[in-house]
Amino acid sequence: ALAGAGTAAAVATGAVLTVAATAIINALVPIQAPTLGTTQSPGSVYNVTTAANQARLAQPIPVIYGRMLTFPDYAGQPYSEFDGNNDQYFYAVYCVGQGSYIKERLQIDDTALEHYADVTWEVLPPGSLPLFALANVVSATEVVGQTMLSGRPIGGFSACGPTLSVAAIGIDVAFPGGLGLADSSGNIGNLSASFRSDARYIDDFGTAIGDWFALGTETVTRATSTPQRLTFKYSLGTPGRVEVRIVRIDAKNPSNNALHTMVWGGMRAYLSGTATLCPTATHFAIRIRASEQLSGLSSRKISGIWRRKLRTWSSAGGWGPEIETRNPMWARLDKLTNTVYGDGLPDARIDLQTHADIAAVCDARQDRFDMLFDAKVTSLDADRTICQSARSVPFQRAGVCSLTRDQLQILPVT
């Protein structure tokens, strides 16, 4: 009985020591799930029900690794214009993410952009500016389809906010019931409508600092019962902040056979200067004819499949040029060395050889890392997330960033 009691005590003591040793090891080398975006609102790429383009003001510019389907954020306010054929064109500039990418596919919902009529797009590498779609356009929310009455000005409405400077004004005029005069047989003949647009300069407090001056006088003649929408664009002689008003200068035909209702449909300010796009990020711009093929909902469902380009390292040649890769080790090295969104460490602070060795293992096993970072995370959490896909754990030894992989070892290690 005494011997049995001694054996039980020894087993209990051994169990206590094992638990204590495990607690110490876990405290020294914690293995825990990464926390992504605990202080910021992430994008909607991981939520199918809410996936859409959005303007994430004051949020981090995304960083994509590997191959990802994303709904890029707006890099400027999207806007629409109408041409002389009554067609509406949708313009937008999007931010793909920090770094360089290869475009695999652009689509609206699940339909490739190539299947839409009159669509143009361009991928803008870091440092490039768009050619046909502008990222420095501001739409006036106050103009929402006010009916224009003869001799009665509408406005003025400020074209942009304080501290901004306008180079040109865009005005949308619509005839919701068409424009024309029907005879007793129902045939529609020509009918005209005229209006004048005025502007005056204002300061950042909205106080006028000049007199009204005419932007332009327009006359529209049509013979149709189809709704008509037109855009008129006026350049300012001197860029500045202005308010705009519009007035109908012809007399509306009171006949029941006259289609003569005119409304102010919208106003845009084309700001002076170049757009302030992030010089280290990739963008893309789009122009698409919206009539009968692009609704307000689908215009926020523009997505793309992007493949990241990263530098690689070898002991023989050092750093190589950027190539398309999904290897988690090259993503880790990019995160450690990048000076914009990463740690910005010099090569002397990184165990490059170990990363290259594990990168070769990942290539042989086809281990891939496809991830979108679109919220603030700590450096350690990002390291753990990246290394986890290679079954590795990051650590620092004498100030040098390294990692170890959970794999068969020749000698026992801790």
Q: Model confidence over 371-384: pLDDT tens digits?
A: 999 999 999 999 99
3-state secondary structure of 133: coil
Asked whether the beta carbons of 285 and 197 are under 8 A apart, the reply is: no
User: What are the tokens at 7?
Assistant: 């054996």
Q: What is the largest CA-CA distance in the chain?
A: 120
Angle at 330 between CA 328 and CA 331, to 5 degrees: 60
pLDDT at 340: 95
Partnered with residue 146 across adjacent β-strands are 264
pLDDT lower than 70: segments of the chain = 1-50, 291-293, 295-297, 413-414
Angle at 370 between CA 317 and CA 39, to 5 degrees: 110
User: What are the tokens at 341?
Assistant: 């969104």
Q: How far is CA 85 from CA 14, 222, 228, 229, in A?
A: 86, 12, 9, 9
- Angstrom distance (rounded) from CA 76 to CA 92: 7
3-state secondary structure of 359: helix
Partnered with residue 402 across adjacent β-strands are 395
Asked whether the beta carbons of 79 and 266 are under 8 A apart, the reply is: no
Which alpha helices (H) appear in 252-389, and where do they start and end?
Answer: 328-337, 352-365, 379-388
3-state secondary structure of 117: coil
Whose tokens are 């424009």? That residue is: 179
Asked whether the beta carbons of 258 and 227 are under 8 A apart, the reply is: no
The candidate with the shortest Cα–Cα distance to 342, out of 60, 132, 123, is 60
User: What are the tokens at 72?
Assistant: 């890029």
What sign for the dihedral angle of Cα 178, 182, 188, 192?
negative
Phi, psi torsion values for 230, nearest 5 degrees: -135, 150
The candidate with the shortest Cα–Cα distance to 227, out of 145, 309, 139, 125, is 145
Residue 230, amino acid:
L
Q: DSSP assignment of 51-119, as one string? A: ------TTPPPPEEESEEEE-PEESS--EEEE-TTS-EEEEEEEEEEESEEEEEEEEETTEEGGGSSSE
H/E stretch holding 112: strand 111-112
pLDDT at 36: 45
Asked whether the beta carbons of 179 and 258 are under 8 A apart, the reply is: no
Angle at 98 between CA 94 and CA 389, to 5 degrees: 120
